[in-house]
Amino acid sequence: MKNIWVLAQRELKGYFASSIAYIVLAMFAVIFGYFFYSATAIFVDYSMRSMMQRGMAPPVNLNDFIIRPLLMNVSVIVLFLMPMITMRLFAEEKRSGTIELLMTSPLRDIEIILGKWLAAMLLYLCLLGISALNILVLFLHGRPDWRALLVGYLGLLLLGAAFLGLGSFVSTLTKNQIVAASLTFGVFLMLWVLDWVTSYSTTTLGKVVAYLSITTHFEPFAKGVLELKDAIYYLSVIFLGIFLTARSMESLRWRA
């Protein structure tokens, strides 16, 4: 446990020293800020018109109108930014040779993997924190359902953790951060668009493929609906990602 935290601290430091952390956070803040502004502007416009037409308070719901689409947006932005967070995890250590330090220190592979995963997770939490700050502004002006919001954030947390697991696996495959990022992005994009099969296929295979899609499982969370099968899906992907990373590290020793 102690080792995981020591490794995570170093990794976080690396994120900020290499300015990847600042770039990711700034990009997220700008893009999310833009979406947030647009969503509220549309909402304000809509409620104004409904007030003028009917002469009463807006019947529209903050959750349905702003929070749900925003959370969906976050899931997409994250899909694009996540490769930047995971690309360096192992690729950079392999390139600089520091992997030799880690692998010859009395650490278990799983401690190394979890340390890195935890650091990436903390950076991701900062990112979610930025979006939460924006959304909290809504509480000053209205009464959104905070339970639905919490479920939405739980969904984002699971989604991010799953992306990070897979991303760190891809990062073990190469010494080159750019290659790692590109591959990771390709994998994420593929997982994202898998559910498109539902638009033309109704066979069992089609359903299975759609089930594998990483974003379909997020929609219920965004609506504030916590369903076991979606949570299980993400937990399995997290587990799979960490398992694959561990196997890949093992084979790193054999290939080295």
| Residue from 49, 54, 108, 247 in contact with other proteins (CB under 8 A) | 108
Tokens of 66: 């702003």
Long-range contact set of residues 212-220: C-beta below 8 Å, sequence gap at least 24? 214/159, 214/162, 214/163, 214/188, 215/75, 215/79, 215/191, 217/159, 218/72, 218/75, 218/155, 218/156, 218/159, 219/72, 220/155
- Asked if 3 interacts with other proteins (CB under 8 A), we say yes
Tokens of 64: 């349905």
Please state the φ and ψ torsions of residue 61, each to the nearest 5 degrees. -100, 130
Region of 5-13, 35-43, 182-190, 201-209 interacting with other proteins (CB under 8 A): 5-13
- Asked if 110 interacts with other proteins (CB under 8 A), we say no
- Asked if 162 interacts with other proteins (CB under 8 A), we say no
What binding mask, one character per residue, do residues 61-100 give for other proteins by CB under 8 A, x or -? Answer: -----------------------------------xxxxx
Beta carbon of residue 118, minimum distance to other proteins (angstroms, whole number)? 15
| Residue from 1, 59, 106, 199 in contact with other proteins (CB under 8 A) | 106
Query: 74: part of which helix (H) or strand (E)?
Result: helix 68-86
Site of interaction with other proteins (CB under 8 A): 2-3, 6-7, 10, 13-14, 17-18, 96-108, 253-254, 256
